[in-house]
Amino acid sequence: MAHSAEYTRGPAGRVVDVIAFLIFGVALGLLVYRAVSGLVNLGTTAGVLLPLIAVPLSLLAADLISGVVHYLADNYGNEDTPIVGKRFCKPFREHHVNPKGITEHGFIEANANTCIVALPLVIVVALLGPYEGPWLTFLAVFVAFLSVAIIMTNEFHKWAHLENPPAIAKILQRWGIILAPDNHDVHHVAPYDTYYCVTTGWLNALFDRLGILKVEVPGDHRDAEILHAATAREAREIILKKMKEQSQAQGSDPA
């Protein structure tokens, strides 16, 4: 796996990212301890069944969150937008221009943004414990796995772009547990208007069919003029501009 020689967010950004991971590790350790204690107190049957329910739901929730964040970052704001511009809008926009660029980042740089997103949640839930009873224990287990899945989202995304990902990644992709390359490839076909979920990809086909997290882009999706667009929003702007020019050339106002 290739790593970029330069940390793209600079020394200050690297310090922030490392601190975020350190705090997350401490909070997650506390949350896992309290979740395991709750499971032990529930007994064998409930202690086994509860994670079997909580883990798939946490992966589903992480996939939904990844899709919403990806959709918003692709289609709203820009790299100058306060707070989220450089951290979220810029990386997603650049990713369309250079899809393989994500494979050049090390673990911390690739996943620090998602760590910062998950950090408040895991801290709050960890401090709310200890947990007793099935519902509160379920919350602890759910949030523990959800926070890990959120943090690993960009790693799963990166693995979907690697020509030779780690062996564990290939197994998880083959089993459909994490984002598979053929699932994610749909998003990288211009005009990039669908398949935004990048944790497991489970929701992509359903959302595409229902028109959820899908950008309305008029015209021919294979039009050569939109192939250089970075996002669905830019593709839409190019197509609408082209439609306007054609309408003006025909001597009528555009619809």
User: What single-letter DSSP state applies at residue 187?
Assistant: G
The rounded distance, in Å, linking the Cα atoms of 208 and 206 is 5
Domain borders along the chain are: 10-249
The rounded distance, in Å, linking the Cα atoms of 149 and 156 is 9
Written as one string, the DSSP assignment of 16-54 is: HHHHHHHHHHHHHHHHHHHHHHHHHHH-HHHHHHHHHHH
Around 177, how many Cα atoms within 13 Å sit in the side-chain half-sphere? 10
The rounded distance, in Å, linking the Cα atoms of 244 and 159 is 41
Give pLDDT tens digits along the chain (255 positions). Answer: 334 445 666 778 789 899 999 999 999 999 999 999 999 999 889 889 999 999 999 999 999 999 998 888 888 866 776 666 666 777 777 777 777 888 888 898 889 889 998 999 999 999 987 888 899 999 999 999 999 999 999 999 999 999 999 999 999 999 999 999 999 999 888 777 889 999 999 999 999 999 998 877 665 555 555 555 656 666 666 666 665 666 666 665 554
Any residues with CB less than 8 A from the CB of 196 and at least 6 apart, and which? 66, 67, 68, 70, 71, 74, 187, 204, 207, 213
